[in-house]
Amino acid sequence: MSNFSSHIKELRELIAGSSSAAGPASAHFEAKLREVMQRGLKLNFLSIVTDLEYVASNNTESGYLVKCLCGSFSDILDSPAIFSELPDRFQPKNGPGVLVDLSGDMRWCPFATSLMRLINKCLTDGTLHVEGLVTMPFVSAAWSILCYGDESLHKVCFDFVRIVATVTTVEILPMETIIRSITWILSQDINELSNVRDADYDFSMGACLHALHSSCPGYIVESTAADIVNVFARAVQTSRSSELQAAMCNAYKRIVEFCPPQVWNPEILLKLLYLPKPYSKLTECIWLVVDKFGQSSISVDDRGGRGSFQEKSEISDLPKAGQKRIAQNQENICYKRRKVSESQSSADSSMTKLSSAGIRHKLAKDYAYDLQLSLSSCIKFLSPDNHNAYPLEPEIAIQVLSLLCLSLCVNPKTSLFIRISKQVLSWIPWICKQATEKCLFSFDVLLYFEALQTVMLLRSSHPGDTKLFEDEARLIGDSGEDNDYPAYVEIVNLLKLMWSDGHASTQACLDWKLKCLMVQVIAKIGDKLNTECYLEVLELATHSESAEVQNEALMSLPIIVLYTGPRMLGVMFKKLELFGDLGSYQVWKCIAFSLGFLSCLNGTTNVTDKAGSSCKLFVDKKLKQPVSTLDLLLKGFCCPQCDIKTVNTKEQISVVDMAVLQAENVGLKNNILKAHILFFKFLYAQTSKECIISMVEVLPRVLRHSSREVLLEMKIKWVKCIDFLLLNGMKDVRDAFSLVVCCFLENRVMDILFSDEVGMKGGTKEVNFMDKIKHAFAQAGDSHVLLTLLESTATVMQASDTQGEVFFCSFVLLIAQLDNPNPIVRKTASRLLRRCCTYCFKGGIELFLSKNFRVRDNLYDYLSSRLLSHPAVISEFAKAVLGITTEELIRRMVPSVIPKLIVSHPKNDQAVITLHELANHLNTELVPLIVNSLPKVLSFALFYEDGQHLPSVLQFYHTETGTDSKEIFAAALPTLLDEIICFPGESDHTETDRRTTKISPTIQNIARILTGNDALPEFLKNDFVRLLNSIDKKMLHSDDTKLQKQALQRIRKLVEMMGPYLSTHAPKIMVLLIFATDKEALQMDGLDVLHFFIKQLAEVSPTSIKYVMSQVVAAFIPSLERCKERASVHLSKTVEILEELIVKNNKLLKQHIRELPLLPSLPSLSEVNKVIHEARGSMTLQDHLKDAVDGLNHESLNVRYMVACELSKLFKAKREDITALIIGEDISDLDVISALITALLKGCAEESRTIVGQRLKLVCADCLGALGAVDPAKFKVISCERFKIECSDDDLIFELIHKHLARAFRAAADTTVQDSAALAIQELLKLAGCQSLPNEDNGKDSSSCEMSKRGQKLWGRFSSYVKEIIAPCLTSRFHLPNVSDAALLGPIYRPTMSFRRWIYYWIRKLTSHATGSRYGIFSACRGIVRHDMPTALYLLPYLVLNAVCYGTPEARQSITDEILSVLNAAASESSGAIVHGITGGLMRTSLLHYYLRHCKMKTMLL
């Protein structure tokens, strides 16, 4: 092996030496040699390891020569010089390679060890060069060598597995085999392996086990669990390596995570606690077991009839007092040896048994109960009162008790932890006595004080009790005259003893760690010590030479207050000041944090505070003890005002709640003042940067817990403090302040510090605060200061209300830096603006500006003010923040800024210049710019300062355009009215309401200017429809609920102004209000406006109530039905509306009231139902059915659905009477049944796409089913109305409007359908000559318009009811979109099409083929045919007739193709094919047959 090593060394030396040689030959030589090394790793290691496995398994003292590196040497046959340097005995005779003699253990073991080391080195240092080296066969062969080698080979094999698991992947390792091999080694007698298992051996084995077990899959953990648990105690007890102990503990924890409790055997953990030096990670294992079992399982009473393993057999195995302690390398527990096969079968058997649930094994709660019994039996012998009677040394008892305490603290509310805590406290007198008498500790005192500190920390967590125990006095002694408990006083004395010069100890642990632990313990004693004791301890810690002890004492000040109460606050503030006077650099950070926590405690301990406003202390369940008080407070202290954190009750334990102490803070004001004085004293002290940063971090705690009096007294100092921190010379200080500056935004703080008093320039508190930041920007001369000021401004912007002044001022300050000369400042400002916009504006800044008009207008005003002096700001803001061009941004700004610029131009010299600059950016002139903005300018001038600036605005337009006031208003009137009515509301509701009340006076002012008359109904009669549509589209159908509510108020204003024209626009208003009442967020506002509308309608046109009554009742019935199950907050308002409609109009509309159904039986509706019942009187079944027929033919879909539901109820209630009526022979009864069936069939064919329409079809079908089979001979079929072949255009227009469009308009359930019907009526009236300019002499009647004779004749044919409906269409301004419907090629019909869709598409196609005068009629109706099927079916024959008679051959052929397409589909349906259309092919066939017959007749006539 040494010769092989030297050869490798020689090869490396040759490579190193040849690198300095020149020429291509040397370079070639070097490359070949390097290739030998690399290829040797890749190609030869597997064969070498395989040969080694064979040699090891058949080893003898002679005869084994292994040839290796064959592949590598074969590649350098052209360099014979390399072979000549090898001795002859190493050169094989049958080819290239190296012969190595591996006979005997003295040869092959060192060779294998060195080879494995080389492989490990390659894996760790050269993984890129050994790709493909580590394979599953190679790993298996390498691991198999371990079975035959010595301890050195074992260690390198362990390292090999660890490296493979870490560097590559564990999947290629035989994980289960390796783990079982390790457990077999651990199961052997340590004495037999004493020359093998040293600390280094265990270290390698432990690292291997940890790397393998921590990354293996769960099924491997389960299969090897029994083996690991079996050797766990032996391995932890006998190993000298902490690495192996840690690996075993980590493996055990994974077993607990993956395996059921049957495998855990937690009793072995308890036995290991009795070792002289138990491993610390055992507590983590116990902690996890207890946590897995859960609090309920470990809280059971230990008094029971069942025993446990620990209770029955293990107590006798504990070390006796006076006996020699068991050394670490000796065994305490007898184990039965196992062979590997036995272990394997045992594990397999164990896993098999675990899979049998509830038959041969205990349930988890049974194992938890056994563990609880074991713990109980263990705990009761750990008392100092029992150690003389029970043979257990006190040192061991304290050790076990401490470890158990640290293990079970995960569930402090369990009875076991309470018992352990009692035992921990009970040892205090004994420990103090031993320390006093012997001046040394014979046990691990640090461990005990860690446990004691844990007990004191969790002593208040017991539910329902502020003390840990009721018998605390018995445990530690009764309190004396000063209410001091002797045992706690002894701890204080012990601490004093440790600081005394005469105290000596042989223990190295009595250092600052122990002092810190004792300070922690004393701080948590609470009111069981007097103030003098606390002060003594703090005085000792103050003068300690250890900074750790001083810091611990400092952070104990708030802990003392937490556990003692507010009476100690004044003392602690004084002590904090003394700490500060020492000026120690190392404690300033803790001074700052202690001041902050004390301020919170002082500010939240007022007994008048509400529940939940006190400070609390939480502890993470997984927090490992010990922990410093600083970490404890930083992670667990919770102030309701300063610490906004979510407490996870599953992961955190509440250990202290100040509210439980219920003590008055008598020194509240003095303590607040003291906190402020100390804060400024420490802040301005000549300390380090870190100290100032710490003070800045606690600034919010001091500021938030201030009283008004103290803030007023310290106002000037706080204002100067802001300047000091904003412009501080240290960047880290400025950065720290930028994170907390938002604490000054709290209303209480701003009201006091930034009120309009001394040192303020005037203005609101928000403006005064932002002036401080503006002043800092002005004073900052360094770019680094500017950068931190930008961060502070961004923080303020993100923390402020988006509607407030602070937000906008911060926004503007960031924008102002977009043209800073420093590019870093510009980029930072741009980045912060984007960040703030993302944080503050959900959906982006553009969406925010589109909804928040006041912020948008103020922003645009600011940008326009910078347009002349800082144009780069606008361009950079457009590009960096909005992502648009400068021109696009100015285009958006123009509607907002031009009105203000024109209004302010008399006093603002820059206004006109800015207007010209805006025009230049938009490549236009001033006049077109201001003319396009005329409506907005006039609207702004009319409302701004009560219209005082209107004359100057009119004069400005007169100067620029030469037009007078009347011409200006006439040109802008339609859009101006939209601006006045549909103005966007402000966030300030008062301002919005004020402007809303001024709508009527403002429009009256315009009316006087234009007509000389202020009668609003006459002035607006031609604009009401358009204004209602504007409100609907711009406001009512927006996504903003606030804007929707404002829309309802604008509708109310229009209702006020309509006067006698209210009934004319009632259908439109009803659609809008019913839409609002269906929205939960708008229901109350919608009901209010609906009630007002009904009152106004009853005043101006009482008879028109009948047209809205049934619609309102039908809309209310569903919500009233729900009120029977759950009361609604809107019920009272609904009842008021119904009483207004029905009760107050009882005499006038009794005939219409009788058609209404009875409303749900609610007490509040009793009066309404009484009126309906009286109006209906005594009705026969025939009367009910006749009313139902009328109702089913009502124009309103909601009314038809309501009637159908009532009819369904009637059929169920009077089933026998209905049957008798059908069977009877009375002609009048049969006529009623026939009409009813016809109406129900019509309802089943309802083509409405709404939910109500679909429900109507189902209810009508249900009613037909309830009628049963009717004799066809008795059923009179009502034939369909046949269209007139010879029909003039005027007749067709009249029929369309009178029978279809007027009905569709009034029955429309949404504005889209209503507007489509209105547009069709408007265009048809135009075609018939019914629209012209209105006659100014008689403008009250729309019918008095200057119509042509043709138009007058047509108008006279309409009934008064229809005239009232269509009158607004005489002057409406609906626009027919210019849509060119390209003729579709081929038939339209598809079997999957619905009947509605097919008819609509066919009408579109036929309309595109229409010619002559009828084209205008058909085109006018192309919108309504999409929504109203009766109108579409009425028009279709005329469209087909027009195409057949006057269309092109292609048009006629398309009709033929369409008809054949439907007939073919019908034939397929008849033969069994499935047609998915809603109505079916037969209906289409009948319809086409009807059309063809009339088309044929027309053709013959021609």
Q: How far apart are the first and last CA of the chain?
A: 120
Backbone angles phi, psi at 1207, to 5 degrees: -65, -40
What is the distance between the alpha carbons of residues 424 and 518, in angstroms, rounded to a whole number?
14
Structural tokens at position 1501 = 């006539």
pLDDT digits (tens, 9 = 90+) for 190-206: 777 767 778 888 888 88
Structural tokens at position 1476 = 């998915």
What is the distance between the alpha carbons of residues 747 and 743, in angstroms, rounded to a whole number?
10
Q: What is the mean pLDDT of residues 293-320?
A: 43
What is the distance between the alpha carbons of residues 1250 and 1265, in angstroms, rounded to a whole number?
23
What is the distance between the alpha carbons of residues 280 and 274, in angstroms, rounded to a whole number?
12
pLDDT digits (tens, 9 = 90+) for 1406-1448: 988 888 888 989 999 988 988 888 899 899 999 998 888 888 8
Find out whether 256 and 371 touch, Cβ atoms under 8 Å.
no
The reply to whether omega before 626 is within 30° of 0 (cis) is: yes
pLDDT beyond 90 at 187 = no
Question: Could you tell me whether strands 65-68 and 98-101 are parallel, antiparallel, or unpaired per DSSP bridges?
Answer: antiparallel
Contacts made by residues 27-33, CB under 8 angstroms, sequence distance 24+: 29/79, 32/75, 32/76, 32/79, 33/76, 33/82
Structural tokens at position 610 = 């509400």
Share of the chain above pLDDT 90, in %: 16
pLDDT at 303: 41
What is the distance between the alpha carbons of residues 531 and 484, in angstroms, rounded to a whole number?
10
Beta bridge partners of 638: 616
Q: Which is nearest to 11 in space by CA: 117, 118, 110?
A: 118
Q: Which is nearest to 691 in space by CA: 733, 731, 724, 727?
A: 733
Tell me the Ramachandran region of residue 1281: left when phi exceeds 0, alpha when psi lies from -120 to 50, beta otherwise.
beta
pLDDT beyond 70 at 332 = no
pLDDT digits (tens, 9 = 90+) for 1281-1310: 566 667 888 889 998 998 889 888 888 878
What is the distance between the alpha carbons of residues 931 and 1456, in angstroms, rounded to a whole number?
56
What is the distance between the alpha carbons of residues 968 and 900, in angstroms, rounded to a whole number?
18
For 22-75, the three-class secondary structure string (H helix, E strand, C coil) is CCHHHHHHHHHHHHHHHHHHHHHHHHHHHHHHHHHHCCCCCCCEEEECHHHHHC
What is the number of helices (H) and of strands (E) in the chain? 77, 5
What is the distance between the alpha carbons of residues 558 and 564, in angstroms, rounded to a whole number?
10
Please enumerate in sequence order all residues whose Cβ is within 8 A of that of 543, keeping only pairs 6 or more positions apart, or say none: none
DSSP string covering 764-829: -HHHHHHHHHHHHHHH--SHHHHHHHHHHHHHHHHHS-TTSHHHHHHHHHHHHGGG-SSHHHHHHH
Please enumerate in sequence order all residues whose Cβ is within 8 A of that of 1053, keeping only pairs 6 or more positions apart, or say none: 981, 996, 999, 1000
User: What is the widest separation between alpha-carbon atoms in the chain?
Assistant: 137
| Cβ atoms within 10 Å, residue 303 | 7
Find out whether 1062 and 1101 touch, Cβ atoms under 8 Å.
yes
Tell me the Ramachandran region of residue 556: left when phi exceeds 0, alpha when psi lies from -120 to 50, beta otherwise.
alpha
pLDDT at 608: 46
Structural tokens at position 491 = 């701890």
Q: Token pair 């039908």 is at which residue?
A: 1114
pLDDT beyond 70 at 533 = yes
Query: How far is the CA of 718 from the CAs of 706, 873, 1182, in angstroms?
Result: 12, 34, 88
Q: Which of residues 109 and 1097 earns the better pLDDT score? A: 1097
| Cβ atoms within 10 Å, residue 670 | 14
Distance of CA 641 to the CA centre of its chain: 23
pLDDT beyond 70 at 78 = no
Of 24-28, 743-747, 1171-1175, the range with the highest mean pLDDT is: 743-747
Q: Which of residues 1473 and 1181 earns the better pLDDT score? A: 1181
Query: Which of 127-141, 585-599, 838-852, 1468-1482 shows the lowest mean pLDDT across its residues?
Result: 1468-1482
Q: Which is nearest to 373 in space by CA: 357, 387, 362?
A: 362
Structural tokens at position 99 = 């012969």
Backbone angles phi, psi at 1473, to 5 degrees: -70, 155
pLDDT beyond 50 at 21 = no
Q: What is the mean pLDDT of residues 1130-1146?
A: 88
Q: Which is nearest to 116 in space by CA: 141, 135, 96?
A: 141
DSSP string covering 518-571: HHHHHHTS-TTS-HHHHHHHHHHHHT-S-HHHHHHHHHHHHHHHHHH-GGGHHH
Hey, CA dihedral for 213, 216, 217, 220, is it positive or negative?
negative
Q: Which is nearest to 1413 in space by CA: 1304, 1299, 1290?
A: 1290
| Cβ atoms within 10 Å, residue 801 | 12
What is the distance between the alpha carbons of residues 1004 and 1014, in angstroms, rounded to a whole number?
5
Under DSSP, is residue 785 helix (H, G, I), strand (E, B) or coil? helix
pLDDT beyond 70 at 1487 = no
- On average, the pLDDT of the chain sits at 77
pLDDT at 564: 85
pLDDT digits (tens, 9 = 90+) for 655-687: 787 766 666 777 788 888 899 999 998 888 877
What is the distance between the alpha carbons of residues 134 and 1057, in angstroms, rounded to a whole number?
91
What is the distance between the alpha carbons of residues 182 and 343, in angstroms, rounded to a whole number?
12
Q: Which of residues 335 and 882 earns the better pLDDT score? A: 882
Under DSSP, is residue 1386 helix (H, G, I), strand (E, B) or coil? coil
What is the distance between the alpha carbons of residues 868 and 891, in angstroms, rounded to a whole number?
16
pLDDT at 149: 67
DSSP classification of residue 1059: G
What is the distance between the alpha carbons of residues 789 and 777, in angstroms, rounded to a whole number?
7
pLDDT at 485: 60
Q: Which of residues 311 and 602 earns the better pLDDT score? A: 602
Q: What letter represents residue 1227's amino acid?
A: I
Find out whether 404 and 378 touch, Cβ atoms under 8 Å.
yes
Question: Taking the model in full, what pTM does it have?
Answer: 0.70
| Cβ atoms within 10 Å, residue 189 | 12
Beta bridge partners of 67: 99
Of 636-640, 921-925, 1158-1162, the range with the highest mean pLDDT is: 921-925
pLDDT beyond 50 at 465 = no
pLDDT beyond 70 at 1102 = yes
pLDDT at 1220: 82
Find out whether 1076 and 1048 touch, Cβ atoms under 8 Å.
yes
Q: Which of residues 38 and 415 earns the better pLDDT score? A: 415
- R_g of the chain, CA atoms, integer Å: 48
pLDDT band (50, 70, 90) for residue 1057 = very high
pLDDT digits (tens, 9 = 90+) for 862-879: 999 999 999 999 999 999
| Cβ atoms within 10 Å, residue 471 | 9
Question: Where is 1137: in which H helix or E strand?
Answer: helix 1131-1138
pLDDT at 921: 92
DSSP classification of residue 1158: P
pLDDT at 615: 85
pLDDT beyond 80 at 524 = yes
pLDDT at 106: 65
Please enumerate in sequence order all residues whose Cβ is within 8 A of that of 491, keeping only pairs 6 or more positions apart, or say none: 428, 432, 518, 521, 522, 525
pLDDT at 1283: 60
pLDDT at 379: 74
pLDDT at 31: 46
pLDDT band (50, 70, 90) for residue 1237 = confident
pLDDT band (50, 70, 90) for residue 758 = very low
